[in-house]
Structure 1
């Protein structure tokens, strides 16, 4: 007789059946679909930013400038100045300094432009005689035809449409400049409040990481801009003094181009030095051009081996290949301005990724670390 207290047998769990998405091929397909979705979203985001570049570019430039100017605003606020007054002092002083520099460059170009045109014309005549001396099938009629083709293009409707496009570009530049100044003012005045408003819905560890991401962004951009400015100033001063000693025309504008080019890592300062050498070649001859090339090479070696490691330190911890890829992508998407903005954007992106991945954790206090 079966006892009523005997427990019923425990049923064995059903073994899961292999489905379409649970086998190895299904898991690979699911992961591939996720990757494709992420790529589609990234492409859509990039396309949207390109279409809205008149807004996106001023926001990025204003963010970079605000990060570089934040120590000045913080210093003024620590002196018990009101937030509004400190912002106006920082903004107006920056505009006055840059406006004075640009005005000086314009007057320098106007003073030396006639001499450069005369020397360039003489250099082109010498180049034409040199071409005639070569064993090449080039005669004077071919050169005259080439000059006539250039004149026809300059007087054609195509060049007129290009000039109209240039006028449109000037309008966009002025609009972007005004928008950049307005956004920069509000970033300097209320940047911390804006970021606090954006992350107010986060809680716990996410809130801590979001706060550190904002702080780290300002730190990386500020150190990058200030450090690169110091390196660029040294490059421009040394090359400008060399050009002035060698009596190369437009030494001051060329030095300014070197300064601006230094904000494009790896290639910017080199290209600016090549431009200076070409001007020296046309205006002063091959010997002076070789000396300019030697000076540019020496400055680039000084910059790469001494200035950047000391001034920038560990603020831009990116491999040279990553910088090159960022420059390429930025140039394709935004031209020269994209090349200038690509490296600081890549540096900030990497710093934020490390924060959210847990690889960049703040150092513990000494009392805690000793436990």
Structure 2
């Protein structure tokens, strides 16, 4: 910085060059020193190139991670399913612990309830299909024959002959096999290989779920233990946020799915549609697929009713599905889910598409909650850490954090 100096002859203040002036003159080449050349990565284009390279590296790492997960999907899918269910059951375990139940006993009770519910649902579906298979097969054959005859008479230019039906059936089989590959992760869509992979995944799911229920917080604490204090607290907050969002989403969706399945199932029973319980179970499962799940359930229920009971019962089923889903979407879902899932519809559709391509049916079911958890983690990364003494904006998660930190400090 130049300083002012008084000129005795003129009485004016002249500027005395300072160190900054000499440095500027040297860089501009007015002095004899070498001119400073800017580094190639410090200008605008260089910074953009660096950011692009970083983005490509992150994208490559993510691709490698996804590829590796697909190679061991028989492990990854049970792991993710167990994590989702354990997050949903955490409030139940906390409530049992507050009543004096040991953690191990609470875990065994919750695990038995989950296994009995899942196993009981599968058993009921299989039992009803076996009981109604003969009569339903005859009705389905008759209904499909009538449907093909109506199609050929209405659209003669697009007549469905035997070859077209054979090609259509082959395409459907291939699609189902691809979905089965994604869901089981074995590469074999039928036979002993598929059953063995499914059984292995089921056993692995139960074992992982047991340890997540029993030692979930301990496992997370072990994973973040190498982090320094500030990063450790941040990781602790992110873990609690992830469990809260995932658990809230699953619990809310279960309530919504139960309401949908009960009311639509009652309508199917009144109309005497075969396989009413399996169709109600399909409605329950598809409720976990936002945006498109309700439409998918309605199409399946209407098609089964069409080929078994005729046109007008199918129309009534469509009306029932539309009314129930409108009530669920506009009234029940905002109340039950609340702020557990705040994602734009486009993000949901992209997540569903990605999950279906990578993980088949199971990927479709878990894509949206995992995306919601990812968004919650991003927000938790920028969220201020709670104060140990006071936190005017505190919630249950931040209260738990403060209690954990107080125990560690003491």
- Band the TM-score falls in, shorter-chain normalisation: 0.7 to 0.9
1:126 aligns with 2:146: yes
1:203 aligns with 2:223: no
Q: 1:290 aligned to 312, 315, 319, which one?
A: 315
Q: Distance in 2 between matches of 1:64 and 1:323?
A: 18
**Residue deviations 1:73-92, cap 9 Å, x none?**
22222232322222111111
Q: Distance in 1 between matches of 2:168 and 2:249?
A: 43
Change beyond 3 A, Cα 1:94–1:249: same
Is 130-139 or 334-343 further displaced after alignment? 130-139
Is 196-205 or 127-136 further displaced after alignment? 127-136
Which residue of the partner structure matches residue 115 of structure 1? 135
1:36 counterpart SS class: helix
Which residue of the partner structure matches residue 400 of structure 2? none
Q: 2:242 aligned to 194, 217, 221, which one?
A: 217
Which residue of the partner structure matches residue 364 of structure 1? 391
Give the C-alpha shift of residue 220 in structure 1: 1.0
Give the C-alpha shift of residue 150 in structure 1: 9.4
Q: 1:106 aligned to 126, 130, 142, which one?
A: 126
Q: Distance in 2 between matches of 1:320 and 1:148?
A: 37
CA contact (8 A) 1:232 1:262 kept: yes
Give the C-alpha shift of residue 134 in structure 1: 5.0
Is 225-234 or 113-122 further displaced after alignment? 113-122
Which residue of the partner structure matches residue 255 of structure 1? 280
**Residue deviations 1:72-123, cap 9 Å, x none?**
2222222323222221111112212332232222222222222211111221
CA contact (8 A) 1:49 1:56 kept: yes
Q: What is the TM-score normalised by the length of structure 2? A: 0.78
Change beyond 3 A, Cα 1:39–1:286: same
Name structure 2 gaps, 5 residues minimum.
1-17, 28-35, 172-176, 182-186, 395-410
Give the C-alpha shift of residue 56 in structure 1: 1.3
Which residue of the partner structure matches residue 269 of structure 1? 294
2:106 counterpart SS class: helix
1:57 aligns with 2:77: yes
Aligned residues: 351
Give the C-alpha shift of residue 361 in structure 1: 7.2
1:166 aligns with 2:186: no
Change beyond 3 A, Cα 1:68–1:285: same
**Residue deviations 1:314-369, cap 9 Å, x none?**
011111111111111111111111111110101111011001123797993389xx
- RMSD, aligned α-carbons: 3.0
2:339 counterpart SS class: coil
Give the C-alpha shift of residue 165 in structure 1: 3.8
CA contact (8 A) 2:234 2:385 kept: no
Which residue of the partner structure matches residue 82 of structure 1? 102
Which residue of the partner structure matches residue 14 of structure 2? none
**Residue deviations 1:55-82, cap 9 Å, x none?**
1111111100111111222222223232
Which residue of the partner structure matches residue 4 of structure 1? none
1:248 counterpart SS class: coil
Change beyond 3 A, Cα 1:118–1:191: same
1:193 aligns with 2:218: yes
Q: Distance in 1 between matches of 2:164 and 2:374?
A: 49
Q: Distance in 1 between matches of 2:60 and 2:167?
A: 46
Q: Distance in 2 between matches of 1:293 and 1:311?
A: 25
Q: Distance in 1 between matches of 2:40 and 2:118?
A: 64
Name structure 1 gaps, 5 residues minimum.
1-8, 154-158
Q: Distance in 2 between matches of 1:259 and 1:40?
A: 37
**Residue deviations 1:162-197, cap 9 Å, x none?**
996412222221111111110110111111111111
Larger Rg computed on CA atoms: 2
Give the C-alpha shift of residue 296 in structure 1: 1.0
